[in-house]
Structure 1
């Protein structure tokens, strides 16, 4: 999974929602878009970047996008797959 690409995509989503006048609604919009549109593997990879060095991939989450992901991390975290 190319984390640079995931960070870039998340930032583009953040850029779109950041223009909304209601900050809280915009944060929710980022998180909901990622939750609904990204497969669990992509969300896990994005969330793991929060625990790593911010510039490790040569691109960092924007402050706004990071705020949305941190605030809604629990909702973005995929459920654990049960062993069959």
Structure 2
């Protein structure tokens, strides 16, 4: 999975929602969009960037997107697949 591309897509989503006047609604909007329209493996990969190498991607991921991901992490994490 191309992490740079995922971050770029998340930032573009963040740019759209960041213009909303209600910050909490905007943060929730970012998370909701990613949850509804991204595949589970894409969401897992994006969230992993926050855990695996937060400093390596710090300049690429916007602060707004980072805040949305951290605040709504539980909603974004795909359910575990039963085996």
Q: TM-score range by the shorter chain?
A: over 0.9
Q: Which is further off, 48-57 or 27-36? A: 48-57
Please tell me whether the aligned partners of residues 54 and 60 of structure 1 are also in contact (alpha carbons under 8 angstroms).
no
What is the alpha-carbon distance in structure 2 between the residues aligned to residue 75 and residue 19 of structure 1?
A: 22
| TM-score between both structures, scaled by the size of structure 1 | 0.92
Shift of 1:57: 5.3
TM-score, with length taken from structure 2? 0.93
Aligned length: 83
Out of 45-54 and 21-30, give the one that drifted further. Answer: 45-54
Unmatched segments (≥5 aa) in structure 1: none
Runs of 4+ in structure 1 off by over 6 angstroms are none
Matched, 1:74 2:67: no
